[in-house]
Amino acid sequence: MSESDSRKTPQHKRDDTTQPMVLPGIHRYQFFTNLKDRGWTMNLDRVALFGIVGALLATVIKPLLRNNPATIYCYECRACYATQDRCPVGISLQAELVVAGRVTDYDRFIRNGGLKCIRCGNCQSYCVQFLPLPQMFAMMQEETRSAIRQGIVPRHSLEDALAGGLVGKEFIDDVVKACS
């Protein structure tokens, strides 16, 4: 038996030092020995990527389709919360109204006093992005009014808003009508 044949015995182990590195700590033979699992991993990566892209598109496209694109630019720094003692109607979480407008969450908008907002603009002066908050709130108020008239907003949300004083005078008729 020659010297080269003696090296090819089944007991011969690969020498890690002779194998090129694919990734730190992973040699080429280790990387390619699990090829059967790579298809599954690639599919999982694709599913995750589609999920991430889908969520991003929903976050960006929905406000564009609803004609409220300025909500995209709010990065929720909460600087508008400084208005708390200056808001004439006592809304303390203005950024929540922006987020509700971005995702068209009527219940969240009502719960945080969106129907009570008089669009005075006090919160706009604190916005570091200089977003047109009164216009954004007005647009969401009209969308919410339309949703109330169509019966999309849950009745319990409207009843809770009435009981908590979260409905402004210009929306009270629509809310009372939807609750009765």
Question: What's the chain's Rg over C-alpha atoms?
Answer: 29
Q: Half-sphere exposure (CA, 13 Å, Cβ side) for 49?
A: 6
Note the pLDDT of residue 45: 73
Note the pLDDT of residue 164: 92
- Domain positions in the chain are 14-63, 68-179
Note the pLDDT of residue 143: 93
SS3 assignment, position 95: helix
Is residue 170's pLDDT more than 70?
yes
Q: Indicate the Cα dihedral angle 121, 127, 132, 134, nearest 10°.
A: -30
Q: Per residue in 118-146, pLDDT tens?
A: 999 888 889 998 999 999 999 999 999 99
Phi, then psi, of 23 in degrees rounded to 5: -135, 160
Q: Per residue in 96-124, pLDDT tens?
A: 999 898 888 999 999 999 999 999 988 88
Q: Per residue in 46-93, pLDDT tens?
A: 778 888 888 888 778 888 887 888 888 888 888 888 887 888 998 988
